[in-house]
């Protein structure tokens, strides 16, 4: 089918205003958030309903046209950037942004995939509930993207990742059929839990068009502290002690190494103090905030914690969180880094940091490691730069750096992709470190659900 015919068929499905081909309209969607990957597309299409997504995919299946679903385009691994050959249709989900149902008795919300995460949080709040997924990119990223990457973020310790937060999905398969797995059931043993196949699949098995998500009571009390510790061993000892004392009231436990704190200070942020390692800890609960804060302060005194501040107001609490959320931005201002989003058992974090850091320092004297992340659930962002004096040639060392980092991750029985996905960035490392039998099972699923290999090509999941 030539371009003129295709554009006419697309316009017949979504309306001409939602078929974009001008560079001015498509450029921002053809480059990833980090500016590392650049793609091309035959057209950017913006369907407004599940029926339109279904008709688009049926057309693409019939005409063998690849499809790249895109949400907020905040992927840090090039997952939503189409291949450079320009054959693919780029499918924006942004217009699928309706709230289909808020069920407060069942504590669920059913939303379309293109709603931003911040909007879902807002709708939940207006209903007196909490949707707890929270990421620095929440103003831009969409629920469909969160599902497709199994997003994690700041409160996984208490509430889990998107896998745990999702009760139902609506998915359009590669051939255009709609699979209705929506529903707010907490118990369901009627066959396989197929929704989990599409969560974390990075758009390679189908297009998610809607989801039913779990809601929680809104905490009425929060206690938030910024603490300084000497090393990651001490940090993990505090994690265990906090769990023992506060149970599931421990909501967030973030670890931030000194270099990241220095970068925040350099770029205009005011920190309570700079420590070898900082912890940002949040407790939340129903009940009285003063009581929770007092209990936290008492616990800190028992630990004989020397460096620490406890937020005394909502604005102080938000200011502490702003520090954590702006780390990615200030790193971006400093230039390129080789990024890793790894997961290890929390208990192995000190061993990983010590062994991996020592090998990197020996192999690349003077290199910088920016290490921070959701230590409470074992997820670290471990970003390496200045492997040589001229950081402009950093990526010449990318394979050698990854070789070291991922070997140490594997030694801890960890994951090379904890929450940001695999995308274009980590496919060869997944092939090396994922169990081969598991990989073959994934390929078999790809052959079944997307036999022509049209869904988000050029990423890590192939049929063969």
Binding site for ligand FAD (CB under 6 A): 33, 68-76, 79-80, 93, 113, 135-137, 141-142, 144-146, 148-149, 151-153, 202-203, 207-208, 328, 419-421, 456
- CB-nearest residue to ligand FAD: 145
Q: Which is nearer to ligand FAD, 82 or 308 (CB)?
A: 82
Q: Which is nearer to ligand FAD, 140 or 234 (CB)?
A: 140
The CA distance from 72 to 126, in Å, is 23
Q: How far is the CB of 388 from ligand FAD (least distance, A)?
A: 27
Residue 250 CB partners (closer than 8 Å, separation 6+): 157, 158, 242, 243, 281, 283, 376
- CA atoms within a 13 Å half-sphere pointing along the CA-CB vector of 232: 24
Q: Kindly report the three-state secondary structure assignment for every residue of 384-416.
A: EECCCCCHHHHHHHHHHHHHHHHHHHHHCCCEC
Asked if 66 and 88 count as a contact pair (C-beta separation under 8 A), the reply is yes
Q: How far is the CB of 446 from ligand FAD (least distance, A)?
A: 14
Q: How far is the CB of 136 from ligand FAD (least distance, A)?
A: 4
18: Cα separation from own chain's centroid: 28
Q: Which is nearer to ligand FAD, 72 or 376 (CB)?
A: 72
Find where tokens 């063998």 sit: 64
Q: Which is nearer to ligand FAD, 219 or 421 (CB)?
A: 421
Q: How far is the CB of 191 from ligand FAD (least distance, A)?
A: 22
Q: Which is nearer to ligand FAD, 47 or 357 (CB)?
A: 47
Find where tokens 């001490």 sit: 234
Asked if 11 and 5 count as a contact pair (C-beta separation under 8 A), the reply is no
Q: Which is nearer to ligand FAD, 255 or 404 (CB)?
A: 255
Q: How far is the CB of 151 from ligand FAD (least distance, A)?
A: 3
Q: Which is nearer to ligand FAD, 148 or 383 (CB)?
A: 148
Which burial class, exposed, middle or buried, applies to 393 when counting CB atoms under 10 A from its CB (0-12, 13-18, 19+)? Answer: exposed
CA dihedral of 255, 416, 193, 163, whole degrees rounded to 10: 20
The CA distance from 227 to 299, in Å, is 13
The CA distance from 378 to 84, in Å, is 35
Residue 140 CB partners (closer than 8 Å, separation 6+): 72, 73, 74, 116
Show the tokens assigned to 373. Answer: 């992340």
Q: Which is nearer to ligand FAD, 18 or 296 (CB)?
A: 18
Q: Which is nearer to ligand FAD, 222 or 374 (CB)?
A: 374
Three-point CA angle 287, 108, 377, nearest 5°: 65
Show the tokens assigned to 233. Answer: 């061993």
Report the interhelical angle of 50-63 vs 3-14 (nearest 10°): 160
Show the tokens assigned to 324. Answer: 């954590």
Q: How far is the CB of 162 from ligand FAD (least distance, A)?
A: 8
Q: Which is nearer to ligand FAD, 93 or 384 (CB)?
A: 93
Q: How far is the CB of 78 from ligand FAD (least distance, A)?
A: 9
Find where tokens 């989801």 sit: 211
Q: How far is the CB of 69 from ligand FAD (least distance, A)?
A: 4
Q: How far is the CB of 103 from ligand FAD (least distance, A)?
A: 22
Q: Which is nearer to ligand FAD, 79 or 394 (CB)?
A: 79
H/E element, 261: helix 258-266
Q: How far is the CB of 294 from ligand FAD (least distance, A)?
A: 30
Q: How far is the CB of 127 from ligand FAD (least distance, A)?
A: 23
Q: What is the CA radius of gyration of the chain?
A: 23
142: Cα separation from own chain's centroid: 11
Q: Which is nearer to ligand FAD, 202 or 285 (CB)?
A: 202
The CA distance from 429 to 202, in Å, is 16
Q: How far is the CB of 179 from ligand FAD (least distance, A)?
A: 12
Tell me the H-state helices in 116-231: 117-126, 143-148, 156-159, 162-165, 195-198
């Amino acid at each position: 089918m030539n371009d003129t015919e295709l554009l006419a068929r697309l316009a017949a499905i979504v309306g001409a205003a939602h078929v974009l081909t001008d560079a001015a309209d498509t450029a921002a969607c053809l480059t990833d958030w980090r500016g590392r990957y650049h793609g091309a597309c035959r057209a950017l299409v913006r369907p407004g309903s599940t029926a339109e997504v279904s008709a688009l995919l049926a057309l693409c299946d019939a005409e063998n046209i690849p499809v790249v679903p895109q949400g907020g385009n905040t992927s840090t691994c090039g997952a939503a950037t189409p291949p450079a050959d320009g054959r693919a249709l780029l499918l924006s989900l942004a217009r699928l942004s309706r709230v289909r149902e808020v069920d407060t008795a069942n504590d669920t919300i059913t939303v379309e995939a293109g709603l931003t995460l911040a909007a879902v949080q807002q709708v939940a709040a207006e209903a007196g509930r909490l949707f707890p997924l929270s990421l620095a990119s929440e103003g831009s990223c969409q629920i469909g993207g969160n599902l497709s990457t199994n997003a994690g973020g700041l409160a996984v310790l208490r509430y889990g990742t998107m896998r745990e937060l999702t009760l139902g999905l609506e998915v359009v398969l590669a051939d255009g059929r709609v699979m209705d797995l929506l529903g707010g059931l907490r118990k369901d043993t009627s066959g396989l839990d197929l929704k989990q196949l599409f969560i974390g699949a990075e758009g390679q098995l189908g297009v998610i068009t809607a989801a039913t998500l779990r809601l929680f009571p809104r905490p009425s009390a929060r206690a938030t502290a910024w603490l300084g510790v000497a090393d990651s061993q001490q940090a993990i000892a505090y994690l265990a002690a906090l769990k023992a004392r506060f149970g599931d009231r421990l909501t967030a436990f973030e670890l931030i190494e000194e270099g990241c704190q220095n970068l925040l200070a350099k770029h205009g942020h005011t920190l309570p103090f700079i420590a070898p390692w900082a912890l940002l800890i949040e407790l939340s609960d129903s009940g009285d905030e003063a009581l929770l804060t007092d209990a936290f302060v008492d616990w800190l005194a028992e630990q004989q914690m020397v460096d620490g501040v406890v937020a005394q107001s909502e604005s102080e609490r938000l200011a502490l969180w702003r520090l954590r959320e702006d780390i990615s931005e200030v790193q971006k201002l400093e230039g390129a880094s080789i990024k890793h989003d790894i997961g290890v058992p929390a208990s192995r974090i000190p061993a990983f940091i010590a062994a991996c850091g020592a090998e990197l320092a020996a192999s690349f004297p003077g290199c910088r490691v920016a290490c921070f992340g959701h230590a409470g659930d074992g997820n670290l962002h471990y970003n390496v730069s200045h492997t040589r004096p001229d950081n402009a040639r950093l990526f010449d060392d990318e394979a050698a750096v990854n070789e070291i980092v991922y070997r140490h991750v594997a030694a801890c029985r960890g994951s090379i992709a904890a929450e940001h996905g695999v995308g274009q960035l980590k496919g060869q490392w997944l092939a090396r470190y994922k169990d081969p039998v598991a990989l073959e099972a994934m390929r078999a699923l790809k052959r079944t659900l997307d036999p022509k290999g049209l869904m988000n090509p050029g990423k890590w999941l192939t049929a063969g």
